Amino acid sequence: MSDKKGRLFIISSPSGGGKGTVIGHIMDTEPELSLSISATTRKPREGEEHGVSYYFITKEQFEELAESGAFLEHAKYIDEYYGTPKSPIDDCIYYGRDVLLEIEVQGARQVMEQYPEAISVFIVPPDMQTLENRLRGRRTESEDKLKARLDTARTELEEKIHYNHVVVNDDAKRAAEEIMEIINKSKGEI
């Protein structure tokens, strides 16, 4: 075991909040930070790789893993399951590696309950129109799925009060810098 325990950082944002780009900037700049790879039952989008973007698994596999306690948290988002594999997170904490969880609001609540010292950041889009434009511009979802994501986004935005920090994603690089400042400031606090 390392002298210092690894810390958990939670980042949530409604779909279309632009967190992918923000997290990309953070991971490029903070080599000491690990990014947790989630498991999901949703189908891979173009360019997404198994074991890199997500572990893409079936509903049966997901349910079995959930049943066996393999997830730190898991949630159903729209019609698919998403979960954080527990053992890599336990290893990071044990060996003193800080880890970033990019998860939606229900999962974030579960992690906050288990690790009240975790630092949480909610990324908000500058306004709803920007969010809708980002979702539409991505062209990865059918109209039905897109509507469901927009509806979910509206409810998710209400959850921001449960987070330690709210960061506006007006510009991905600027938002990433603000989050890195939060991460680095918290080093002396936990």
- Residues in contact with ligand 5GP by CB under 6 A are 15, 38, 42, 73, 75, 77, 82-84, 102-104, 106-107
Q: Closest CB to ligand 5GP among 4 and 140?
A: 140
b/e string for 31-67 if b means 16 or more Cβ within 10 A?
eebbbbebbbbeeeeeeeeeeeebbbbeeeebeebee
Q: Closest CB to ligand 5GP among 69 and 188?
A: 69
- Least Å distance, CB 186 to ligand 5GP, is 21
- Least Å distance, CB 92 to ligand 5GP, is 15
- Least Å distance, CB 100 to ligand 5GP, is 11
Q: Closest CB to ligand 5GP among 30 and 112?
A: 112
- How far, in whole angstroms, is CA 66 from its chain's centroid? 18
> Which tokens is 17 given?
């909040």
Q: Closest CB to ligand 5GP among 145 and 174?
A: 145
- Least Å distance, CB 55 to ligand 5GP, is 10
In angstroms, the CA 135 to CA 149 distance is 9
Q: Closest CB to ligand 5GP among 3 and 60?
A: 60
Strands (E), the chain: 8-12, 34-35, 39-40, 55-56, 71-77, 80-85, 99-102, 119-124, 165-168
- Least Å distance, CB 24 to ligand 5GP, is 14
Classify residue 165 by burial, with Cβ atoms within 10 Å: 0-12, 13-18, 19+. middle
